[in-house]
Structure 1
Amino acid sequence: MSEEKLMSKKKPAYPINKKLDGYLHRYNRKIEIPIFYDDLLRFSGSVVVYDSEGADTLWVRVFYSEFDREEIDLSLKKVYSILHSDGGDRILEYLNVDAVDYCTFGNSKPFRIKVRNILNDNYTYFYVKKTDASRVYGLELEHMLSPYNLNFLVFGDTLIEEHIAGIPGDVFINDVLPKCTEAEKSQLAKEFVKFNERCMIRLLGDMRSYNYVIVPTHDFDHVVYKIRAIDFDQQCFEGKLKVYRPQFFKENFQMVELVRTKLQKYSVDQYKIEERSIVAKRILSSGNRIKRLVGIGKTDTISLDENIDQLKHQIYDLTKDLNFKKCTTMGQVLALALDFVKRNYEDVSLKQILDNNQS
């Protein structure tokens, strides 16, 4: 299936409503920052950024007038301090803004800021984007339901995201995967199954290979690979269930082939059950925080009516749970999907307890 048919051509940005704004304030995501997204649009020129192979990265490095540059540099250093430290000014003299890059590819059109510590030349990135309720829900759900914590800030119409380190999926598939050992390929196949399941459970869409990273970790005598989403623009928007399953994007074909050639069906089913159980445990351990977020989402507008109608019927076909047919918002669909996973986990756990007591 072509991407044009699988994905909507353009997803609108949805505003942060009053309840979600209060949630962000409660959990220290809403913090006043000294610069807005629109301030960074005042650049006076740009040059294309190429990678080490001379290919266009689809990013451009922007430049500001001398008058604007000093103010913007200082503000970006303060944002770095708020995001990564205590927000104080004492570290600012040791920081330098090496680059401000702008990407016109995709919906979010982010700015990527490279900040370097001048004492030791260590550097890191953060991103400045337009606020979008879908993305905020996606970031929060990733923070609670994935193995990874996320750091981000929201103020007005500006969203600040920390950089998620790793090898971009498309780069990994092209450059690293062919050199992997057979054991590493099997482990990657396992991780892709679990990643695919996690995205579908929490309705995170559009996980094409350039929207996730592969994170290698050296463990004794081998390398363990994990897969992390890095783009949360398509949280709970599309109507086609396939959009929430990375296996259906052609960019992931080689990862799907790994699953086909390296894993037996029994193993695939086992890894799916493992991931559902882990997500269910995270839902339970997140307590009131996830209840508040999902409760807010139930009354929020983060998708189109036709998408909601399509998705709820496709999920009903998969689960046979009549409650999905009653949904009128995408937040209600998400809430039921998470509850379905949690209930199944609790039912299985209760059955195991009863079986153990009887044995």
Structure 2
Amino acid sequence: MQIAEFGIEAWLNQWENSATYDISQSTISSMTISDLLNLTGDAPDTFAKQLNDTKMNYGWIEGSPEFKELVSSHYANVKPSQVLQTNGATGANYLALFSLVEPGDHVISEYPSYQQLFDIPRSLGADVDLWRIHEADNWYPDINDLKAMIRPNTKLICLNNANNPTGTLLDRDFLSQVVEVAKTVGAYVLVDEVYLPLDDPKKFTSIVDLYDRGIATNSLSKSYSFPGVRIGWTVANDEVSDLFRKYRDYTMICGGVFNDRLAVYILQHRDQIFARNRALVMNNLAILKDWIANEPRVSCVLPQAVSTSCPKLDIPEATEPFCLRLLKETGVLLIPGERFDLPGHFRLGYCTDETTLRTGLDRLSQFLRQFD
């Protein structure tokens, strides 16, 4: 099997540990377990007590009943049996694609978006069409392009909602149009849903609440601020979930007892985490807006209160060498747009701590003055 290098991961693997001011990441400022306990008001040894008498065996293979119940409750009509625990959203996406896509299938993927959603189908022998998003349309794709691409053998339509790297949220009306197109050929719709608009989560509609052949993937890495837990999940109808179970045995035995217990504790305190993260996102988004308004060499279609954004640079240099010089000379880390096939842009993860964000943006502005 041949597969392309994972552009953003290769960049981060090489350079993130060299950064002093990392404003490239798409997680909302990661938390420690102590941060979480302080947020909930529980005693410092609360979580440790839960673990002390727990055997470190394989645990619940698909995720504990508590985990599955908590996840299912976040959707309109989902049963716990439809939830399968995975190794992050990357594991969830891989499981869904590995289970469904066969050589010769036709797959349509939003583009640019998270690279798994088009390069894994390609590696599995699918014929992949790229459904492009357009900056002039606030990074939305055109539904007429999807209608023109659909074929009788279209197996799967892949979306990233909200989009990585742009932060654009596809609303319920648009998703409903996608579903209507998918229904014409019985295609599945897979949506990576790790980014939640925290200004108003009710604006978000999961694909599984719109379409019986919808498949949602998610994790605790982005909106929940716990990427280190490495827990995600798939949600699909009963038939598809049973198919996933078969393939899951080849990709993952279990999430681990420790990780499952921590995931349950995080999900039990979802409202407190989201309140903390909403305040952080809205504060930092205001900082980002102000910086863009006062930085003549940067413009941006602003994100929908999610943790990733994709500004555009007005400089006479390719973005990747610029970002590398920026890191080496100032300690500021961005992800160049070339890693998303968006030359001239860069991914800015503005949901780090405020000091890192302000310092990183200030150093970026100073570095841009060389082009004035």
Which TM-score band applies after superposition, normalised by the shorter structure? under 0.3
Give the TM-score normalised by the residue count of structure 1. Answer: 0.24
Larger Rg: 1
Give the TM-score normalised by the residue count of structure 2. Answer: 0.24
Higher relative contact order (CA 8 A, sep 6+): 2
Q: Which has the higher helix share?
A: 1
